[in-house]
Structure formats: C-alpha cells, structure tokens
Structure 1
C-alpha cells in the first residue's frame, strides 16, 4: 500500500497573503481542487526542509471552517517537530449539499494533500489524518474513500451514520438534524433519492475499505449525554473494520450508550499517560484498528492524538513500512 506523509490540522496561527509561504508561520493559501477546478482555501505550514517530512492533515468540526483553531496544540507540535500540516476548508460547515461528506469534499481533501506534496518536501509514506467531531466524521469518510493515502487516521468523537445521528439529534432537539436535512435533501425515509444521500455520505457505507489503514477511534464515555454524538458511532465504526470475533454486540453497544459505563463483562484495568486525567475505560484492537472509550465527553485529547501519531510514525519507519 502506498502511504502519504500528510497531517491535516484544523488550526490557524498567522495569515499571510494567498500563496505566500513563510518559513516559521502558518499561512493562508489557495489550491486548485480537482472536483471543479475552483480555488479552495486552507491553512498551511511548510517547514521548508531539505529532507522529506511527514504531513498532518487536520479537519475542522461540523460547524467550523479552515480558520478554526480546535487543533492548535497539534498545529504547534507540527511546527516544533518540523512536520508539514494543512487544514483545508472542504466546503466549510456541514449546512448544505456541497459539504457533509460530498464528492466535492473528498476531492478537495485529496487535492489539499496533492498541493502539500507539490509545494513542500513531503514524505509520501507518512501522511496522517486527524479530525474531531465533524472532522472525525470526515476523517472516516476519507479513510473509506481513499485508504491508499493515509499512514494513519485518528478520529475523535466521530459521526459514522447520518441516519442514526439525524434521529438522535431530533429526539434531543439538537439543531444538527436541520443541517443533515439541508445537506441530504430531506428527512430519512422521505424518498429513495434522499435515503441514498444519507447512505453515500455516511462513513459506515465505505469503512470496510479501510481495513488496511491504521485507525485510532476515540470517544468520551459521556458523549451523547454531555455532548452531541453518542459513542455508538465510534463502536459501530470499529465493528466495520474489526474481525468478526472482535466486534461488539448490539446489546453491548446499547449498554455503553444508555448506561454511560462499560458493561461488566468488558471492564478492564487500563493506564495510558497520554490521556492525562481522562483515562481509557475500555480499549479494543482488531487488525489495524483500535477503539478507545475514555473518561470524558465530546472532546479531543491532543496529547493522546499526538502520542499515537508519533508512536505510529516511529514504528513504521523503524520497520520500513
């Protein structure tokens, strides 16, 4: 498999004129998208290294855009490490059909990676993808559509099934359900065409393609209660790429969601310093995928994402992968 050294971040530091890159600065750039030949915005850091460097691609949240700073810790880490990063817009907030896991979104992100490779000295075996919430959702979309690109994908509190999330948000009166309707053209079940939109924009439809991708799935145990995305989305995403014997049952997933705790039969004693005070409560690995349920809510733990990416990168290069 061909890997790409790119890590796309959802952050912004300094803004320079379009297509002007500053050695130590994050700059605002425009790049051509293969989707429609439009010029798409992104924040970009080019370390201007003589040696090939990894690339981190960070993806903004559901309601965010390319100027969002929710991944600022990862951004700063990239600058300190001398890694490249790009934080694309991919059609902005998920309020309309052009966004929300569309074909335009997929091609915009691939084109952002291509721009970074053409502009900076990128190691094509070390391209990493990071996203939180709506960015986690889009990270899983990209893992399913283009598994050949990513050396690793770290998805935090992601949405994996738009139909399920529509109903969950509607019941909880979270306005995101209106965004989903606007993006997909109607409520689930209103027509065959609408249901196809929900399906083709949902990561679960394509995630089986990502079984060869290193996947890092994370959710806070209280999400869906103190937060907008039930942890069933992360657990079901894991099931799509896990071996049959490693999958969680429907009853186990329902217990996680309803009771906001780990089923007694799945309790573990875990310790991971990178999660700080929000320690893992449940973790399972199958093949290339690991899912972690931690003691938190709808959030990213930057230190844990960084630690996973750094450890994965070191392992891959130590073993010549």
Structure 2
C-alpha cells in the first residue's frame, strides 16, 4: 500500500511537463544536474564520469534496520546524466538508493552506445553505491526507456548475476535493423549509429553492430527477471518498431512461447494485434495504458500496450519491487486495482 501510494506521483523517464510552464533549456537542465552530480573514476580508462547519486539515511553504514534496494536508471538514446535528477524525488519517496550514470552520454560516438566503456561505467556506479550504502544484494534493479531500454537489455545480458530485475521500455534490440528503419524514416538515428559503430552496417562494421545489439546476446539473461514493454504505435508515431521488443522476448522464450514472425510483421505494419493473439491480454491495475497483448515465458515477459514511444515508470518500479535475485520472476498483478501511474512519452 505504501509503495503504491508513493508511486502515484512518479516522475517518468524524461517526461514532458504536465503544467503549462517555460521548459528549461538543455543548458539549464545540464547546469542544474551538474550541481547534483558526483564524479566516479572509470575503472576501465580512468576518466571521471558523472553520476546522479542519492541515498537515504536509512542506507548509511551506521544506520540500523534492513539493507536498502538500489535502483539504477539509464538515460535515453540522446540523453545523459542530466535525465537523472527527477528520479531523486522518486528515490526519496521509495526510500531506495539511486544511481543514474552518464555511461558516456548520447549515443553518437564509439565510447557510448553499449561500448565496453559504457557498460563498465554503469557497473562502477553500482560499485560506488555498494561501497557508500548498505545495499540489499538481492534487490538491485535496473530500469530504462528507449536508449535506456536498449542499454538495460545489454546489461541484463552482460552481467546477469547482478540484477534482481530489469524493466525495459520501448527498447532497441538490433542496431543494424534500426539503422535501416531510421534511414527509411529519415531521422537522425542512422547517423548516430554510424558515428558509434564506425559507419553504416556492412562487413567492416558488422562486429560492432552485433556487439552493441542485445538481440544477439540475450540468451545469457534467461535467469534474470526481465519485463519488456512496447507501444503498438511505436515505429509510426515513435522511432522504435514493436518488433525490437518482440524479437528480444523470443530470444528468452521457450520455442512454443515465441511470437511468430508473421504476427510480428502484422503488428509492425497494421498497428494492431492479430486476431489469433487477441485473447492474450490482461487488465493490469498498475497500468494506465491498456495491455493489448502480454505473454511470459520463464523469467521473461513482453507487453504490447496501447500507445507509442511511451513509458510508465510507476508500473516498472512496482513490478521491480516484487522481484528478488535468485527467485523466479514474479508476474503477479498488484494488489490494489486502479492505482495506475502516469504514462509519458520517452525522450529519444
């Protein structure tokens, strides 16, 4: 009850403000974030990396009581650590420790975009929190949307033994496929991918695209409670087709639970759920966006909701709060019907 009440005012991944007010400029947002950030030296190249960090007094080493959960928030594709400060208020309400690392900032250079440097930055931030605070080792959670969803899947595959649960929203799973999709949509993401991977997809860059694409590595994450979410209109009103989430789920799912290629193609083209899958839905009291299709297999679940490039971080955090490292994924529904948090469009 307390957790649900606290989450009603959740701040989403990179939310557009609900009130009519002058939005701060990117420079103003970054300047404000710099005042809150700490520097953590990279254990890989020694450079200082910005991290938004907060811990409650209850997590101090001289405090009594149980150890505290840690939530790791990963910024969107074109963002950086400056997206982390809104999560401080959320962490305070939850009583959890927060880290929101920069992990080399926007995905427009080789050092970013799921590089080994970027993934180590996330691990370094977690290690810092574990040194500074009493972290419950079975309650280290990871959440992100869009580019943060992409990196959440990457980290689930690269360090599966660390996470109690991973909540990925509208993620990119195959960078080469997304390059082609982005070129067709004439947006800037194809150029950013080329800047990150050394050029367009081809023989010279194939290894880079595959290394940075979670689709080819998620088999290592089958032991991690993993919740993947996508909006049926994404790829039309947004930048990431639903196929990325569904194909990622298929890597984790048993053969008889995988979503058929013909059904994935239908959803991408028609922005609808095929009639053959229409009964695989669920009323989820923790969601504002209607669940159109939901399937689970082992520790993985995929949800296609009525929406586009959106996230519901309150639902993500509520789901994470029920997960424990070393235990099977808990896909039970929340106990209090009607307590859905706000859905917001994820920054690209």
TM category (shorter chain) comes to: 0.7 to 0.9
Query: Given the alignment, which residue of 260, 263, 279 partners 2:271?
Result: 260
Partners of 1:48 and 1:120 within 8 A in 2: no
Distance 2:68 2:327 in 1: 14
Q: Quick check: 1:164 aligned with 2:173? A: no
Q: Quick check: 1:38 aligned with 2:53? A: no
Task: Map Cα deviations across residues 194-240 of structure 1 (whole Å, 9 max, x no partner).
Answer: 11111111001211000000001000110000100001000000001
Partners of 1:10 and 1:67 within 8 A in 2: no
Task: Map Cα deviations across residues 23-47 of structure 1 (whole Å, 9 max, x no partner).
Answer: xxxx411112212122211101111
In the TM superposition, residue 14 of structure 1 has moved relative to its aligned partner by 11
Query: Given the alignment, which residue of 82, 88, 92 partners 1:67?
Result: 82
Query: Given the alignment, which residue of 45, 50, 57 partners 2:72?
Result: 57
Q: Which residue of 1 aligns with 2:149?
A: 136
SS class of match (2:82): coil
TM-aligned CA distance change 1:17 to 1:198, over 3 Å:
closer
Q: TM-score, normalised by structure 2?
A: 0.81
Distance 1:265 1:315 in 2: 35
Query: Given the alignment, which residue of 236, 253, 275 partners 2:287?
Result: 275
SS class of match (2:320): helix
Q: Quick check: 1:233 aligned with 2:233? A: no
SS class of match (1:85): strand
Partners of 2:222 and 2:299 within 8 A in 1: yes
TM-aligned CA distance change 1:260 to 1:124, over 3 Å:
same
Distance 2:184 2:240 in 1: 13
SS class of match (1:106): helix
Task: Map Cα deviations across residues 267-301 of structure 1 (whole Å, 9 max, x no partner).
Answer: 0242112112x110000000000100001110111
Q: Which residue of 2 aligns with 1:151?
A: 164
Q: Residues 1-321 of structure 1: matches in 2 within 5 Å?
A: 27-49=36-58, 50=63, 51-68=66-83, 72=86, 75-189=88-202, 192-268=203-279, 269-276=281-288, 278-312=289-323
Partners of 2:253 and 2:300 within 8 A in 1: yes
TM-aligned CA distance change 1:10 to 1:65, over 3 Å:
farther
TM-aligned CA distance change 1:55 to 1:267, over 3 Å:
same
Partners of 1:10 and 1:68 within 8 A in 2: yes
> Number of residues paired by the alignment?
297
Q: Which residue of 2 aligns with 1:3?
A: none
Partners of 2:163 and 2:325 within 8 A in 1: no
Q: TM-score, normalised by structure 1?
A: 0.87
Distance 1:85 1:291 in 2: 26
TM-aligned CA distance change 1:201 to 1:37, over 3 Å:
same
Task: Map Cα deviations across residues 8-59 of structure 1 (whole Å, 9 max, x no partner).
Answer: x9689996988xxxxxxxx411112212122211101111322310000000
SS class of match (1:212): coil
SS class of match (1:274): coil
Per chain length, whose mean CA-contact separation is higher, i.e. which structure has more relative contact order (CA < 8 Å, sep 6+)? 2
Unaligned runs of 5+ in 2: 1-11, 15-28, 331-348
In the TM superposition, residue 312 of structure 1 has moved relative to its aligned partner by 2.5
SS class of match (1:233): helix
Unaligned runs of 5+ in 1: 1-8, 19-26
Distance 2:284 2:153 in 1: 24
Distance 2:206 2:33 in 1: 42
SS class of match (2:83): coil
Partners of 1:15 and 1:28 within 8 A in 2: no
Distance 1:295 1:285 in 2: 18
TM-aligned CA distance change 1:172 to 1:310, over 3 Å:
same
The alignment yields a C-alpha RMSD, in angstroms, of 2.4
